[in-house]
Structure 1
Amino acid sequence: MKKTYQALVAVCLMAAGATAFAAQQETVKHPHHEGQKMMVPGGHGQFMPPMMMPPVYQSSMQTSDPAEALKKLTGDVPALEKGKRYDVRIEVRELPPLPSLPAPAAKEKPVEQPAG
Protein backbone atom coordinates (compact mmCIF):
# COMPACT_ATOMS: atom_id res chain seq x y z
CA MET A 1 0.00 0.00 0.00
CA LYS A 2 2.84 2.34 0.90
CA LYS A 3 4.64 1.68 -2.40
CA THR A 4 1.43 2.30 -4.36
CA TYR A 5 1.00 5.66 -2.63
CA GLN A 6 4.62 6.63 -3.34
CA ALA A 7 4.26 5.65 -7.00
CA LEU A 8 1.04 7.66 -7.32
CA VAL A 9 2.68 10.75 -5.79
CA ALA A 10 5.70 10.36 -8.10
CA VAL A 11 3.47 10.10 -11.19
CA CYS A 12 1.49 13.20 -10.13
CA LEU A 13 4.66 15.21 -9.57
CA MET A 14 6.11 14.15 -12.92
CA ALA A 15 2.85 15.07 -14.67
CA ALA A 16 2.81 18.48 -13.00
CA GLY A 17 6.45 19.06 -13.97
CA ALA A 18 5.82 18.02 -17.57
CA THR A 19 2.82 20.33 -17.78
CA ALA A 20 4.81 23.27 -16.40
CA PHE A 21 7.69 22.54 -18.79
CA ALA A 22 5.35 22.28 -21.79
CA ALA A 23 3.54 25.54 -21.02
CA GLN A 24 4.35 28.30 -23.49
CA GLN A 25 6.65 30.89 -21.98
CA GLU A 26 5.62 34.46 -22.70
CA THR A 27 8.77 36.37 -23.61
CA VAL A 28 7.32 38.76 -26.20
CA LYS A 29 5.87 42.06 -25.00
CA HIS A 30 2.56 43.03 -26.54
CA PRO A 31 2.57 46.81 -27.09
CA HIS A 32 -1.17 46.93 -27.69
CA HIS A 33 -1.79 45.85 -24.07
CA GLU A 34 0.43 48.48 -22.46
CA GLY A 35 -1.40 51.52 -21.13
CA GLN A 36 -4.77 49.83 -21.40
CA LYS A 37 -7.22 50.62 -18.61
CA MET A 38 -8.28 47.96 -16.14
CA MET A 39 -11.57 46.22 -16.84
CA VAL A 40 -14.45 46.44 -14.38
CA PRO A 41 -14.76 43.22 -12.34
CA GLY A 42 -18.32 42.82 -13.63
CA GLY A 43 -17.07 42.80 -17.21
CA HIS A 44 -19.49 44.03 -19.88
CA GLY A 45 -16.65 45.77 -21.74
CA GLN A 46 -16.73 48.90 -19.58
CA PHE A 47 -13.54 50.49 -18.33
CA MET A 48 -13.05 51.41 -14.69
CA PRO A 49 -13.24 55.20 -14.19
CA PRO A 50 -10.34 56.97 -12.49
CA MET A 51 -10.53 57.35 -8.72
CA MET A 52 -12.32 60.50 -7.57
CA MET A 53 -10.47 63.09 -5.53
CA PRO A 54 -11.69 63.58 -1.96
CA PRO A 55 -14.03 66.55 -1.54
CA VAL A 56 -12.49 69.94 -0.71
CA TYR A 57 -15.64 70.94 1.18
CA GLN A 58 -18.72 68.92 1.95
CA SER A 59 -21.78 69.87 3.95
CA SER A 60 -25.43 68.96 4.30
CA MET A 61 -28.34 70.47 6.16
CA GLN A 62 -31.97 69.57 6.81
CA THR A 63 -34.22 72.59 6.68
CA SER A 64 -37.69 73.80 5.83
CA ASP A 65 -36.28 76.77 3.82
CA PRO A 66 -33.88 75.49 1.10
CA ALA A 67 -33.02 78.97 -0.24
CA GLU A 68 -31.86 80.18 3.18
CA ALA A 69 -29.91 76.95 3.74
CA LEU A 70 -28.17 77.38 0.37
CA LYS A 71 -27.11 80.92 1.30
CA LYS A 72 -25.75 79.69 4.64
CA LEU A 73 -23.88 76.74 3.11
CA THR A 74 -22.30 78.82 0.32
CA GLY A 75 -21.13 81.34 2.92
CA ASP A 76 -19.22 78.55 4.69
CA VAL A 77 -17.23 77.44 1.61
CA PRO A 78 -13.47 77.96 2.15
CA ALA A 79 -11.39 80.07 -0.24
CA LEU A 80 -10.24 77.92 -3.18
CA GLU A 81 -7.45 78.30 -5.71
CA LYS A 82 -8.22 80.21 -8.91
CA GLY A 83 -7.63 78.47 -12.22
CA LYS A 84 -8.52 74.98 -11.00
CA ARG A 85 -11.66 73.11 -11.98
CA TYR A 86 -14.14 71.97 -9.33
CA ASP A 87 -17.25 69.79 -9.41
CA VAL A 88 -20.10 71.57 -7.61
CA ARG A 89 -23.41 69.82 -6.99
CA ILE A 90 -26.62 71.11 -5.47
CA GLU A 91 -29.41 68.74 -4.58
CA VAL A 92 -32.69 69.49 -2.82
CA ARG A 93 -34.87 66.52 -1.87
CA GLU A 94 -38.14 66.37 -0.04
CA LEU A 95 -37.86 64.24 3.07
CA PRO A 96 -40.68 61.99 4.23
CA PRO A 97 -42.61 63.25 7.26
CA LEU A 98 -41.27 62.23 10.62
CA PRO A 99 -43.16 59.33 12.16
CA SER A 100 -45.38 60.39 15.02
CA LEU A 101 -44.23 59.21 18.40
CA PRO A 102 -46.73 57.15 20.38
CA ALA A 103 -48.26 59.01 23.31
CA PRO A 104 -46.82 57.90 26.62
CA ALA A 105 -49.13 55.57 28.52
CA ALA A 106 -50.78 57.20 31.53
CA LYS A 107 -49.44 55.85 34.79
CA GLU A 108 -52.08 54.20 36.86
CA LYS A 109 -51.92 54.52 40.60
CA PRO A 110 -51.48 51.18 42.30
CA VAL A 111 -54.64 50.02 44.01
CA GLU A 112 -54.16 50.12 47.74
CA GLN A 113 -55.52 47.17 49.60
CA PRO A 114 -56.97 47.77 53.04
CA ALA A 115 -54.83 46.50 55.84
CA GLY A 116 -56.24 43.70 57.64
Structure 2
Amino acid sequence: MSWIVLILSGVLEAVWATALGKSEGLTRLWPSVVFLAALAVSMGGLAWAMREIPTGTAYAVWVGVGASLTVGYAMITGDERFSLVRMLLILGLVGCIVGLKLVGDE
Protein backbone atom coordinates (compact mmCIF):
# COMPACT_ATOMS: atom_id res chain seq x y z
CA MET A 1 0.00 0.00 0.00
CA SER A 2 2.88 2.38 0.75
CA TRP A 3 4.14 2.11 -2.84
CA ILE A 4 0.71 2.98 -4.24
CA VAL A 5 0.45 6.01 -1.96
CA LEU A 6 3.98 7.04 -2.94
CA ILE A 7 3.24 6.83 -6.67
CA LEU A 8 -0.01 8.78 -6.25
CA SER A 9 1.89 11.39 -4.24
CA GLY A 10 4.37 11.63 -7.11
CA VAL A 11 1.48 12.21 -9.51
CA LEU A 12 0.25 14.99 -7.25
CA GLU A 13 3.74 16.46 -7.28
CA ALA A 14 3.35 16.87 -11.04
CA VAL A 15 -0.04 18.50 -10.45
CA TRP A 16 1.29 21.03 -7.95
CA ALA A 17 4.39 21.79 -10.00
CA THR A 18 2.28 22.45 -13.10
CA ALA A 19 -0.24 24.51 -11.12
CA LEU A 20 2.59 26.55 -9.59
CA GLY A 21 3.84 27.39 -13.07
CA LYS A 22 0.33 28.38 -14.18
CA SER A 23 -0.25 30.50 -11.06
CA GLU A 24 2.10 33.24 -12.30
CA GLY A 25 3.82 33.64 -8.94
CA LEU A 26 0.72 32.72 -6.93
CA THR A 27 -1.16 35.71 -8.39
CA ARG A 28 -3.89 33.66 -10.13
CA LEU A 29 -6.48 32.25 -7.73
CA TRP A 30 -7.42 28.81 -9.06
CA PRO A 31 -3.98 27.61 -10.06
CA SER A 32 -2.79 28.78 -6.62
CA VAL A 33 -5.59 26.85 -4.89
CA VAL A 34 -4.78 23.72 -6.89
CA PHE A 35 -1.09 24.19 -6.07
CA LEU A 36 -1.67 24.46 -2.32
CA ALA A 37 -4.14 21.55 -2.16
CA ALA A 38 -2.02 19.21 -4.28
CA LEU A 39 1.12 20.20 -2.37
CA ALA A 40 -0.48 19.38 0.99
CA VAL A 41 -1.83 16.01 -0.12
CA SER A 42 1.37 15.12 -1.99
CA MET A 43 3.58 15.86 1.01
CA GLY A 44 1.20 14.02 3.32
CA GLY A 45 1.31 10.96 1.09
CA LEU A 46 5.10 11.10 0.90
CA ALA A 47 5.32 11.29 4.69
CA TRP A 48 2.90 8.39 5.08
CA ALA A 49 4.77 6.21 2.58
CA MET A 50 8.09 6.93 4.31
CA ARG A 51 6.86 5.04 7.37
CA GLU A 52 7.60 1.82 5.44
CA ILE A 53 9.85 2.87 2.54
CA PRO A 54 13.38 4.14 3.25
CA THR A 55 13.74 7.92 2.97
CA GLY A 56 16.23 7.96 0.09
CA THR A 57 14.22 5.52 -1.99
CA ALA A 58 10.89 7.19 -1.26
CA TYR A 59 12.19 10.65 -2.08
CA ALA A 60 13.89 9.52 -5.30
CA VAL A 61 10.73 7.77 -6.50
CA TRP A 62 8.50 10.71 -5.52
CA VAL A 63 10.68 13.24 -7.34
CA GLY A 64 11.20 10.94 -10.33
CA VAL A 65 7.50 10.30 -10.84
CA GLY A 66 6.67 13.98 -10.42
CA ALA A 67 9.45 15.21 -12.70
CA SER A 68 8.68 12.66 -15.41
CA LEU A 69 5.00 13.49 -15.48
CA THR A 70 5.61 17.25 -15.29
CA VAL A 71 7.97 17.22 -18.27
CA GLY A 72 5.78 14.75 -20.19
CA TYR A 73 2.70 16.91 -19.66
CA ALA A 74 4.57 20.04 -20.69
CA MET A 75 5.72 18.37 -23.91
CA ILE A 76 2.19 17.13 -24.69
CA THR A 77 0.66 20.58 -24.14
CA GLY A 78 3.41 22.33 -26.08
CA ASP A 79 4.82 24.25 -23.10
CA GLU A 80 8.14 22.47 -23.68
CA ARG A 81 9.72 21.28 -26.89
CA PHE A 82 9.44 17.57 -27.64
CA SER A 83 12.56 15.72 -28.67
CA LEU A 84 13.54 12.09 -28.90
CA VAL A 85 16.47 12.69 -26.54
CA ARG A 86 14.18 14.18 -23.88
CA MET A 87 11.80 11.25 -24.22
CA LEU A 88 14.63 8.74 -23.88
CA LEU A 89 15.93 10.53 -20.78
CA ILE A 90 12.48 10.48 -19.20
CA LEU A 91 12.16 6.77 -19.99
CA GLY A 92 15.57 6.24 -18.37
CA LEU A 93 14.34 8.04 -15.27
CA VAL A 94 11.23 5.86 -15.16
CA GLY A 95 13.44 2.79 -15.57
CA CYS A 96 15.49 3.87 -12.56
CA ILE A 97 12.32 4.33 -10.50
CA VAL A 98 11.16 0.82 -11.41
CA GLY A 99 14.66 -0.44 -10.56
CA LEU A 100 14.45 1.07 -7.07
CA LYS A 101 11.20 -0.81 -6.49
CA LEU A 102 12.63 -4.06 -7.82
CA VAL A 103 15.77 -4.07 -5.68
CA GLY A 104 13.76 -3.27 -2.57
CA ASP A 105 15.55 -3.24 0.78
CA GLU A 106 18.20 -5.85 -0.05
Common fold by TM > 0.5:
no
Compare CA radii of gyration and give the structure with the larger one: 1
- The alignment's TM-score, normalised by the length of structure 1, stands at 0.21
Hey, which of these two has a bigger chunk of helix by percent?
A: 2
